[in-house]
Amino acid sequence: MQKRKLGKSNLEVSALGLGCMGMTFSYAPFPEKKDSIALLRAAVERGVTFFDTAEVYGPFNNEELVGEALEPFRGKVVIATKFGFDINPDGTHGGKGLDSSPARIRQVADASLKRLRVDAIDLFYQHRVDLNVPIEEVAGAVKDLIAEGKVKHFGMSEAGAKTIRRAHAVQPVTALQSEYSLWYRTPEEEIIPTLEELGIGFVPFSPLGKGFLTGKMDENTTFEKSDIRNIIPRFTPEARMANQTLVDLLGKIGAEKNATPAQIALAWLLAQKPWIVPIPGTTKLHRLEENIGAAAIELSAGDLHEIEGALTKIKVEGARYPEALEKTTGR
């Protein structure tokens, strides 16, 4: 698989990464641990070198899974993890919700290093901006960890442009991870121009619209009780029916390219900027191989123009998150 560099940092990763959250969190039912380990190792064999996890996924068991699976490939893969939530050592939530205090950041780093079985965290994201801690203090704490050799690169997630600038002035930000896809394009307004100016890479999560852009679901699809999509406005049956037009467009272009809707959605993201690295998540080998195949699809200027023209006629229905969750993003 082709490689890409995240901004000016020279952190080189595969053009597509693998989001590991769904292996233990948000999208039940979860696979057997041995099957997830096999999938993670299969991803490495197929050229994926960029893996995304977080302490809060579980909590903790996602990092443990990734650490065990990727231990044989230490030094050959890049593992990103995240801090920023108030979690007790037993995995219960401490009550504050967010916590990016310097002491907590250091505590998370030390615990994540052990769970991931690495000597240094390749990319350490602030999971969500904590308004109770000045971002300069957060960036400073990560800067200290970088100086100590415990962390290699600083990242942010779902942060607003002004906050990114303030953090970047203290410790250069290597990558921003935020939602971006054909059905959520808000980052194009302010975030992507800011990242381009500052030389920061962009790691889109949910690049397939939490599965909707694969074309494998419709208004009649049902989810497990614990599946996060049950509370997302964009996934009501009415919204899914309305949003089917977008999937139909991807299917039409895919038919011309001998590609699936998911592959066209990922190829579109890759065509936006050379420093964009999507991290689609999956628990199935055939989906992993389908996603990887997107990296080989070339969308011409004409293809992109056709997609853009068609998108102007499509209005995506439904909010991407419930209101309470949306308030923690874009700060």
Residue type, 286: H
Beta strands in 99-143 (DSSP E): 121-126
Catalytic residues: 57
Please check whether residue 8 lies inside any domain of the structure.
yes
210: CB partners within 8 A, 6+ apart: 228, 229, 232, 235
CA dist list (Å): 322 to 24, 126, 272, 329:
22, 21, 28, 12
> Per the structure, how many domains does the chain have?
1
User: Which residue segment(s) compose the domain that 108 sits in?
Assistant: 3-208+273-297
According to the model, what pLDDT value does residue 28 have?
Answer: 86
According to the model, what pLDDT value does residue 13 have?
Answer: 98
According to the model, what pLDDT value does residue 199 have?
Answer: 98
Please check whether residue 282 lies inside any domain of the structure.
yes
Please check whether residue 10 lies inside any domain of the structure.
yes
Q: What is the pTM of this model?
A: 0.97
Domain holding 288: CATH number? Answer: 3.20.20.100
Please check whether residue 137 lies inside any domain of the structure.
yes
CA distance linking residue 257 with residue 275, whole number of Å: 24
**Average confidence (pLDDT) per 10 residues, the chain, 331 residues:** 95 98 93 98 98 97 98 98 96 93 98 98 98 98 98 98 98 98 96 98 97 95 93 96 94 95 98 98 97 96 93 93 90 94
The token pair that represents 212 in the structure block = 């909707």
CA dist list (Å): 269 to 2, 48, 53, 162, 193:
15, 17, 21, 24, 15
Please check whether residue 186 lies inside any domain of the structure.
yes
Please check whether residue 326 lies inside any domain of the structure.
no
Residues 109, 124 contacting (CB under 8 angstroms): yes
DSSP state of 281: B
Please check whether residue 105 lies inside any domain of the structure.
yes
Please check whether residue 160 lies inside any domain of the structure.
yes
Reduce the secondary structure of 56-88 to three states and give it as a string.
CCCCCHHHHHHHHHHHHHCCCCEEEEEECEEEC
According to the model, what pLDDT value does residue 1 have?
Answer: 94
According to the model, what pLDDT value does residue 163 have?
Answer: 98
